[in-house]
Chain A
Amino acid sequence: MTLDIRSMGDRALLVATQHPARLAASIESLTIVGVIEAVPAAETVLVRFDSNCDRKSLQRTINDIDDAASSTTDTTHVVIPVTYDGEDLGDVARMCGLDIADVIAIHSAILYTVAFCGFAPGFAYLRGLDSRLTMPRLNTPRVRVPAGAVAIADQWSAVYPRESPGGWRLLGTTTMSLFDLTRPQPATLKPGDTVQFTPISPVAGSTA
């Protein structure tokens, strides 16, 4: 199989793939001389390298990786307790034609996968959102979204690790720390990990 591999400048390749987290993990596990990092995003993997790496042979190496067969490395399953008290919970329910209790039940029943991190340190894009809950970002992003906000946008769910501006729709909050620079691995979620949300407020008896 020939992959779609493009140059991102003279020190990186951009590889299109259906399994970015898995391909990035496979490339990193090969410890290729001169490769600095393999970074997954939604549909691509970026492979950055230095002057010790030959671009053409790197391209051949990547092409020879069978990304569908390659096994994932040490991924973790993370359970995130959520209080479903987000500012947009009522709007989301209304726009989706659901009860608030349904939104909570649907959002917390899914087994998500961390597709990639981006936007901010420790901000993990969680793949797997139910199509009944997909909706666009807010037209006007909030200037301030609190740390721990659990949110959705398009086909993604995520937790804001730190206070920041943001345009995602807020469903709830968690007190779990998603990014802590005092830990050896500061980010709780890394590409390939699986995630589930557990409601810690009563699901029934909503006050919409």
Chain B
Amino acid sequence: MIEILATGPQSLIQDLGRPGWSNIGVGPSGAFDRASLRLANRLVGNSETAPGIETLGGGLRLRFNEPTIVSVTGADGPLHVITNDIPRPTGRNAPLTLAGGDVLSIEAPTRGLHSYVGIRRSINVAFTLESASTDTLAAIGPTALVAGQRLTLANAAMTHPPIDLAIARSMTGPMHVIRGPRWDWFTDEAQAAVTRHTWTVSPISSRIGMRLVGAYLERREPNRELASEPMVTGAIQVPPDGLPVILGPDRPTTGGYPVIAVVVDSHLDRLAQIAPGDPVAFRVIPLE
């Protein structure tokens, strides 16, 4: 059994989401940083698709009332295992063997924003539309974790933990984007501004969308209306105020604002690790 002692700003159960339900207005949701959830699961011998815990910032504290193996991936930062009230610093991106009664304590990240806790055998959680993910916009899936809540271990382990340590990914350099379907709706200045500016992520950001500040992106015809279009995660929408929003995994399935550019699939996980105030630069790359 796992007892949630503290959750930090937001802790959610996430797996790889529920793709394929957009036709009825249900978005993909799932781990914001998919590769980190996969790694957290691999490190403890779970299937990569098993549900884990995604936590924003620091403050999540979990007490494990039985021996188990866990891992913490995603953001970088201090991590402690507390045994009999004595905290012991330990490392991320590796399997951690816990004794019954141990507390796992995730401190505020020094780099990145979202951490992922992989738990051997995973946790018992109800599946909705084939996924255990919490969709914060659609209110589908488990509710956010709260202090005092208890979770039980499932029986989903696949193998023995195959690796001891994972090498962290490189997350530096500009984010690669492809011109969006409505690139030509924007002025030459706006098109140039996408790559010329170093943008900043606003605190008004979430799993639904990340708001950027840095420049105002103007349309050639400000009053032209766009009929609702289907959206993708990573689409950079520009509302009438000119400040772009990058859509995250809990985005709506359709949107009425023109998309100037779209983050490439291989860089989507990086979005999860950009904290409010962090700089973001883009490079427009051609499709092969």
Write the residues of chain A forming the contact surface with B, with a CB cutoff of 8 angstroms: 6-12, 14, 24, 36-37, 39-46, 48, 55, 116-125, 162, 179, 181, 186-187, 190-191
Is the Cβ of A187 less than 8 Å from the Cβ of B232?
Answer: no
Most buried by A among B129, B232, B234, B264: B232
Is the Cβ of A44 less than 8 Å from the Cβ of B230?
Answer: yes
Does B12 count as interface, using CB distance less than 8 angstroms? no
A-B contact pairs, 27 of them (CB 8 A): A7-B179, A7-B262, A8-B180, A9-B180, A9-B235, A10-B262, A11-B265, A14-B229, A37-B22, A40-B23, A40-B230, A42-B228, A43-B227, A44-B229, A44-B230, A46-B229, A48-B19, A55-B287, A116-B254, A117-B23, A117-B25, A118-B228, A118-B254, A120-B25, A122-B25, A123-B25, A186-B129
User: With A120-B138, A186-B24, A187-B25 in contact, do A7 and B227 touch (Cβ < 8 Å)?
Assistant: no
Is the Cβ of B23 less than 8 Å from the Cβ of A190?
Answer: yes
Residues in A neighbouring B234, C-beta threshold 8 A:
9
Minimum CB–CB distance for A6 against chain B, Å: 4
Is the Cβ of B230 less than 8 Å from the Cβ of A46?
Answer: yes
Is the Cβ of B287 less than 8 Å from the Cβ of A118?
Answer: no
Is the Cβ of A8 less than 8 Å from the Cβ of B262?
Answer: yes
- Chain B interface size range: 20 to 34
Partner of A6, one of B20, B138, B181: B181
Residues in A neighbouring B235, C-beta threshold 8 A:
8-9
Residues in A neighbouring B264, C-beta threshold 8 A:
9-10
Is the Cβ of B228 less than 8 Å from the Cβ of A37?
Answer: no
Partner of B228, one of A41, A162, A191: A41
Does B124 count as interface, using CB distance less than 8 angstroms? no
Minimum CB–CB distance for B178 against chain A, Å: 6
Does B253 count as interface, using CB distance less than 8 angstroms? yes
Binary contact readout B128-146 vs A (1 if CB under 8 angstroms, 0 otherwise): 1100000000111000000
Complex CA gap A195/B198 in Å reads 49
Is the Cβ of B229 less than 8 Å from the Cβ of A10?
Answer: no
Is the Cβ of B253 less than 8 Å from the Cβ of A39?
Answer: yes
Quick one: which of B75-124 are within 8 Å of A by CB?
A: none
Residues in A neighbouring B179, C-beta threshold 8 A:
7
